[in-house]
């Protein structure tokens, strides 16, 4: 996977790209990341990449010429690529979108700033707009790193264990079960007995139920999206969770408080 990132603040990306999993993935050639400074393509003496908006109003708008020139430069070096603008007006980013982007071979991530980018650049050159949440950042750099990180870990060999990403929260529409490690007792609280049995079936059943309970408690909206197998429904029924799940999937909003139902 090849990532091109267009930004006016390339130093913001240095640390995330040179630590942890991303550093190793780059060293091993599993991902390539090139950062392009948009300011290098502004040809006035002050290297201006923004200007006041026509019609007045607050803030500044990123100029189309430096953006287009920077994009042309990276596409000349690496033709093609899906051009993604990080913008609060884009479609909401989630694990489904991460998997969609992981199927691409080349992503060009354009980091917006200020009040946004000139609409003519967006209309002519942008293939996709993505928002990492319903809040405002000072720029698209952190959002771009969210995309690079979440997409990279889905690529073959990046995590080292193919099952790791498959079992993450949001790998299906359930939050992941609670995790425990040594010591067995901490602050008077013991690790759940099921996890100490060594019985894989018991452990899997416990983790599945813990995952469902946590999702009901924290994100009941996700239950509506989940498809449970007949075997899983038997487990839910035995635990007294089948009616709660059924009501949530039928659109009831009052069932997310516990296993007692409405």
Can you tell me the distance from the alpha carbon of 71 to that of 41, in angstroms, rounded to the nearest whole number?
10
Residue where the block lists tokens 């690079």: 148
DSSP conformation letters of 30-49: S-EEEEEEGGGG--STT---
Q: Are 98 and 154 in contact (CB under 8 A)?
A: yes
Can you tell me the distance from the alpha carbon of 256 to that of 219, in angstroms, rounded to the nearest whole number?
8
Q: Map residue 19 onto helix, strand or coil.
A: coil
Write down the catalytic residue from 153, 172, 214, 243: 153
Q: DSSP character for 113?
A: B
Residue where the block lists tokens 């690496």: 78
Write down the catalytic residue from 40, 168, 194, 226: 168
Whether residue 156 lies in the annotated active site: no
User: In angstroms, how far is CA 89 from the centroid of its own chain?
Assistant: 16
Whether residue 242 lies in the annotated active site: no
Q: 183: cis peptide before it, omega within 30°?
A: yes
Whether residue 39 lies in the annotated active site: no
Write down the catalytic residue from 40, 65, 115, 149: 115
Whether residue 119 lies in the annotated active site: no
Q: DSSP character for 51?
A: E
Write down the catalytic residue from 82, 88, 128, 214: 88
Q: DSSP character for 40?
A: G
Closest residue by Cα to residue 84 from 138, 131, 135? 131
Helices (H) and strands (E) in the chain, counts: 11, 9
CA-angle at 60, arms to 59 and 65, nearest 5°: 170
- Catalytic residue numbers, as ranges: 88, 115, 153, 168
């Amino acid at each position: 996977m090849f990532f091109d990132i267009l930004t006016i603040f390339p130093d913001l990306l240095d640390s995330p790209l040179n630590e942890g999993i991303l550093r190793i993935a780059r060293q091993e050639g599993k991902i390539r990341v090139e950062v392009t400074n948009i300011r290098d393509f502004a040809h006035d003496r002050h290297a201006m990449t923004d200007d006041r908006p026509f019609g007045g109003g607050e803030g500044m708008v990123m100029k189309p010429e430096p953006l287009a020139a920077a994009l042309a430069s990276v596409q000349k070096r690496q033709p093609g690529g899906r051009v993604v603008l990080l913008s609060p007006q884009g479609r909401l980013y989630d694990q489904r979108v991460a998997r969609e982007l992981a199927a691409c071979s080349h992503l060009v991530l354009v980091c917006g700033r200020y009040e946004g980018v000139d609409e003519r650049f967006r209309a002519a050159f942008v293939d996709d707009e993505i928002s990492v949440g319903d809040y405002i950042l000072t720029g698209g750099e952190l959002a771009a790193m969210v995309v690079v990180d979440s997409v990279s870990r889905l690529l073959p060999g990046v995590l080292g264990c193919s099952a790791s990403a498959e079992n993450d929260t949001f790998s299906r529409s359930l939050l992941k079960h609670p995790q425990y490690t040594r010591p067995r007792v901490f602050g008077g609280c013991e690790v759940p007995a099921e996890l100490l049995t060594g019985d894989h079936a018991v452990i899997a059943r416990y983790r599945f139920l813990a995952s469902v309970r946590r999702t009901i408690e924290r994100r009941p909206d996700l239950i509506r999206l989940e498809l449970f197998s007949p075997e899983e429904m038997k487990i839910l029924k035995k635990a007294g969770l089948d009616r709660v799940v059924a009501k949530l999937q039928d659109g009831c909003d009052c069932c997310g408080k516990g296993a007692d139902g409405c």
